[in-house]
Amino acid sequence: MYVAGIDAFLAIVQTQNLKKAAEVLNLTQATVSYRLKILEQEMGATLVERGKGIQKITLTPFGENFVTIAERWSRLKQDTEKLQATGPQLSLSIGGSNSLNTYVLPPLYRALAQHSPRIRLQFHTQHSVELWDTMGRREIDVAFVKMERTVPNIDVEPFFIDEAVLIRPATAHEFGNLQPIHPTELNCEHEIYWNWGPAFQMWHDRWWDPIHAAYIPVDIAGLIFSLMQDPRQWSVVPKSVANSFVKTGQFLIQQLLDSPPERVCYKITHKNIKPSAKGSLALLDQYMADLF
């Protein structure tokens, strides 16, 4: 559609006068008339009544109906110009497990959110198993998971190693100096059990009967914070989680003898990276190199 003609038409509608419309557009009156004529030829109908003795511009019925369409077209033109002015935009869709999104990755996410030019970010929180499937369907650009797999078309690389520690309520110091403790000294009846990985579960099953254990199971780390009130209670968690809990002043870290294997966290990406995500993933790697 003839954009210059639409601008001329809307200026005429606004001013109700051909001369004033020319002044608004900083054009000659003849140019405005010409542009209106070309638009009318394109539309196949007269938009503005013309004739000798007509002082005030009036619209034909067709012209009145066309006003709304012309205004919408003008807004689309303005939006297009704004988009062109911003240049190519960066975007990144990120998946992460609940514990990584909550306790490990926030510094990375803050750095990405503050990047200039702005990156359009989308976050997805899922279990690691689900994230592998989501990545396989290419519904996200990158994911951070707590388990390794060998899957065609998906690249895997470790990015963070987390040691395991014991946490207890801050009031536990009343029971004496919290020296390093061996698993055999812990009563599983007071455990809040969060299974944060296959290697940890194997270690846990070595010390406590998985069938007859009396612990309280939780599926996310945040529930430990809510449930741990008794000074006798305890939980074995990755240190990144423990550090976050300790900052509240309500928990203490106790070293664990014969502790579980370290938790290795992985970054996964699809081998066929979307062209729109390549620049954002390169920035992500730069920030990760600084933070981890």
CATH of the domain at 237: 3.40.190.10
Find the CATH number of the domain harbouring 11: 1.10.10.10
Q: Which of the residue ranges 85-99, 132-146, 152-166 would you say has the lowest mean pLDDT? A: 85-99
pLDDT of residue 174: 54
pLDDT of residue 88: 61
Residues 174, 251 within the same domain: yes
Residues 44, 188 within the same domain: no
Residue 237 burial (C-beta neighbours within 10 Å; 0-12, 13-18, 19+):
buried
**pLDDT tens string 177-191:** 678 999 999 999 999
Residues 99, 234 within the same domain: no
Q: Which of the residue ranges 49-58, 90-99, 210-219 would you say has the lowest mean pLDDT? A: 49-58
Average pLDDT over residues 25-42: 90
What confidence tier does 81 reach under pLDDT thresholds 50, 70, 90? confident
pLDDT of residue 1: 76
State the total domains in the chain: 3
pLDDT of residue 177: 63
Residues 23, 98 within the same domain: no
Using the CB atoms, write b or e for 75-85: b if 16+ within 10 Å: eeeeeeeeeee
Residues 150, 278 within the same domain: yes
Q: Above 70 in pLDDT, residue 22? A: yes
Residues 269, 135 within the same domain: yes
Q: Above 80 in pLDDT, residue 55? A: no
Q: Which of 86, 113, 137 is the last residue of a domain?
A: 86
Q: Domain of residue 226: give its range.
A: 164-261
Residues 251, 169 within the same domain: yes
Residues 156, 277 within the same domain: yes
pLDDT of residue 200: 93
In sequence order, which residues have a C-beta less than 8 Å from that of residue 286 and are 6 or more positions away?
none
Residues 205, 232 within the same domain: yes
Please name which of 240, 235, 263, 247 lies closest in space to residue 105, comparing C-alpha atoms: 240
Residues 56, 103 within the same domain: no
Distance CA 82, CA 205 (A): 60
Q: What percent of the chain has pLDDT over 90?
A: 62
What confidence tier does 56 reach under pLDDT thresholds 50, 70, 90? confident
Residues 242, 193 within the same domain: yes
**pLDDT tens string 140-179:** 999 999 999 999 999 999 999 999 999 999 887 655 567 8
Phi-psi region of 270 (alpha: psi -120 to 50; beta: other; left: phi over 0): beta
Residues 235, 178 within the same domain: yes
Distance CA 237, CA 217 (A): 13
pLDDT of residue 236: 96
Q: Which of 86, 119, 143 is the last residue of a domain?
A: 86
Q: Which of 41, 61, 86 is the last residue of a domain?
A: 86
Mean pLDDT, the chain, rounded, equals: 90
pLDDT of residue 173: 65
pLDDT of residue 54: 59
What confidence tier does 52 reach under pLDDT thresholds 50, 70, 90? low
The model's pTM: 0.67
**pLDDT tens string 206-260:** 999 888 778 899 999 999 989 998 989 999 999 999 999 999 999 999 999 999 9
